[in-house]
Amino acid sequence: MESEHLKVEHDGLVFDVHRSGPPRGPWVVLLHGFPVNSSCYDAVLPRVHDAGLRTLTIDQRGYSPGARPEAVEDYRLDKLVDDVLGVLGHLNIAYSMLVGHDWGGIVAWHLAAKHPEHFTGLVAISTGHPSAMAAALAEGDDQRTRSAYIKNFVADGAEAVLSARNGVMLRRAGVHADELGPILAPDGLRGPLNWYRANFTGDIAKTLACPPVDVPTTMLWSDADAALGREQAEMSGRFVYSDFRFSELAGVDHWVPQRAPEAVASEIALRSAQF
């Protein structure tokens, strides 16, 4: 069983990457969301390795200390997608499964839709296909209400607000105190919040627009998620032109990889076996 921490250069930045698992297993790339780095998958990885799969986790742009450009436009979605492709190319990983939670799910949907030749399957956690999200926002009040917090994240001074009193707002939202260290460090929140500023301002529909996905896909959604509703998750099947599975977790909040690692690992193993 290998376990190796790597520094990978791409686009003038240096990304922290963790490669682990059985040396001959198929690859699974796991992408984290806001505001926790790839440590959110710590309890998932051993279970995925037990299923015979190798894993690659990436502390993405704004989270790796060596990959924190200052300009907001450096966090646009096309750059976030290219980062993953760049890391995989550097490591000579031609094919893998994709797993993404929250913002990592948005990046994963775009990777699977635009570069299907590199990916054998997708497990999207919490975050539905961007077109399903757009439809949910347009067709009803539920998702608009759930997404209202975004206006606070794109505001000037959001870093100070979220870091105040040792991150009390994030802790109240369910982020564990032990996970807050990296983002409460100086400049730790600027990059993560710039994901929102770069992609949830201006012409949002154009920025997030994503083609349908043509790889086998699992949508894993939890019914106690305060930020992402059922509609955007269930409607994702309309935008998958391959095998699609919708899986619901009862009584689990937004932080699915930390709260339900067994379920996440099971869905990854099942999607891998189906492929």
pLDDT digits (tens, 9 = 90+) for 29-69: 999 999 999 999 999 999 999 999 999 999 999 999 999 99
List Cα–Cα distances, 25 to 1, 91, 146, in angstroms. 10, 15, 39
Q: What is the pLDDT of residue 217?
A: 98
Q: What is the pLDDT of residue 204?
A: 87
Encoded tokens for 76? 């646009």
**Residue in 57, 139, 39 with CA at minimum distance from that of residue 98:** 57
How far is it, in rounded angstroms, from Cα 56 to Cα 37? Answer: 13
Q: What is the pLDDT of residue 104?
A: 98
Q: What is the pLDDT of residue 29?
A: 98
Average pLDDT value over all residues in the chain: 96
> Is residue 267 scored above 80 in pLDDT?
yes
| Burial class (CB within 10 angstroms; exposed 0-12, middle 13-18, buried 19+) of 212 | middle
How far is it, in rounded angstroms, from Cα 275 to Cα 109? Answer: 18
How far is it, in rounded angstroms, from Cα 27 to Cα 152? Answer: 37
Please report, rounded to a whole number, the percentage of residues in the chain having pLDDT higher than 70.
Answer: 99
pLDDT digits (tens, 9 = 90+) for 121-175: 999 999 999 999 999 988 889 999 999 999 999 999 999 999 999 999 999 999 9
> Is residue 275 scored above 60 in pLDDT?
no
Do residues 221 and 247 lie in contact, with contact meaning Cβ atoms separated by under 8 Å?
A: yes
What pairs with residue 249 in β-bridges? 222
Residue ranges of the domains in the chain? 2-274
pLDDT (mean) for 254-273: 97
pLDDT digits (tens, 9 = 90+) for 227-262: 999 999 999 999 999 999 999 999 999 999 999 999
Q: With bands split at pLDDT 50, 70 and 90, how would you rate the model's confidence at 26?
A: very high
Q: With bands split at pLDDT 50, 70 and 90, how would you rate the model's confidence at 2?
A: confident
How far is it, in rounded angstroms, from Cα 209 to Cα 134? Answer: 9
The strands making up 244-249's β-sheet, listed across from edge to edge, are 2-10, 13-21, 54-59, 27-31, 96-101, 119-125, 217-222, 244-249
List Cα–Cα distances, 20 to 1, 232, 234, in angstroms. 7, 33, 32
- Residue 275: DSSP 8-state: -
Q: Which residue has the higher pLDDT, 140 or 267?
A: 267
* Cβ atoms within 10 Å of 4's Cβ, excluding its own: 8
Into which CATH architecture does domain 2-274 fall?
3-Layer(aba) Sandwich (3.40)
Give residue for tokens 């189906």.
274
Q: What is the pLDDT of residue 205?
A: 85
Quick check: helix, strand or coil at residue 125?
strand
Do residues 56 and 93 lie in contact, with contact meaning Cβ atoms separated by under 8 Å?
A: yes
pLDDT (mean) for 111-118: 98
pLDDT digits (tens, 9 = 90+) for 185-236: 988 999 999 999 999 998 888 899 999 999 999 999 999 999 999 999 999 9
Q: What is the pLDDT of residue 274?
A: 65
Q: What is the pLDDT of residue 66?
A: 97
pLDDT digits (tens, 9 = 90+) for 53-111: 999 999 999 999 999 999 999 999 999 999 999 999 999 999 999 999 999 999 999 99
Name the strand (E) or helix (H) holding 73: none
> Is residue 19 scored above 80 in pLDDT?
yes
Q: What is the pLDDT of residue 97?
A: 98
